[in-house]
Structure 1
Amino acid sequence: MSPNVGSIDRVIRIVAGVSLVAGAATGTIGMWGYLGILPILTGTFRYCPAYAPFGMSTCKTKANNPTRVA
C-alpha cells in the first residue's frame, strides 16, 4: 500500500473526522458522527481505499519532485 493521500488532504480529513466524532460524543449531531473515524484513519495511514480503484492520488511522488538530496 503506497500512500495516496497528500498533506493538505490529510489535514482536512483528520480535522473533519475529529469534528464529526466530537459532535457525536457531545450529542450534537447524533450517532452518525462516529463515521468520522474513517477520515481519521485514512488521514493517519495516508491511504484511502476509495482512491485506489480510480488510480487517484493527492500525494506528491518523487518523480514529480525536481529537488534532489545528495
Structure 2
Amino acid sequence: MEKNAGTVDRIVRVVIGIGLLYAVATGMVLGIVMYVAGILGIMMMVTAALAYCPLYPAMKMNTASKPK
C-alpha cells in the first residue's frame, strides 16, 4: 500500500473527521445521519493516519509528494 495522501490532504481529513465525530458525540446529528457521520468520521481519521485513500487509485490521484 503506497502512500497517496499528502500532508495538506491528511490535515484536512483530520479536521473533517474530528468535526464529524464531534457532531456525533454531542448529538448534533440524529438518526441515520448520525451513523453515516460516524462512519465517515472514522474513515477520514483512518485514511489520514495511513496516508492512503483507497479511492485515489481509481481516480488516478496522488497528493503525496514524490521522492526525488
Question: TM-score when scaled to structure 1?
Answer: 0.82
Match of 2:25 in 1: 25
Structure 1 residues 23-58: Cα deviation after superposition (integer angstroms, max 9, x where no partner): 101101231320211111111100000101122100
Normalized per residue, the structure richer in helix is: 2
Could you list the runs of 5+ residues in structure 2 that have no partner in the other structure? none
RMSD over aligned CA atoms reads: 1.0
Report % sequence identity. 37
Matched residue type, 2:56: Y
Runs of 4+ in 1 over 2 A off after TM superposition: none
Q: Match of 1:62, SS?
A: coil
Question: TM-score when scaled to structure 2?
Answer: 0.85
Q: Which has the higher contact order (CA 8 A, sep 6+)?
A: 2
CA–CA distance in 2 between the matches of 1:46 and 1:25?
25
Q: What are the residue-to-residue correspondences of 1:43-62 with 2, within 5 Å?
A: 43-62=48-67
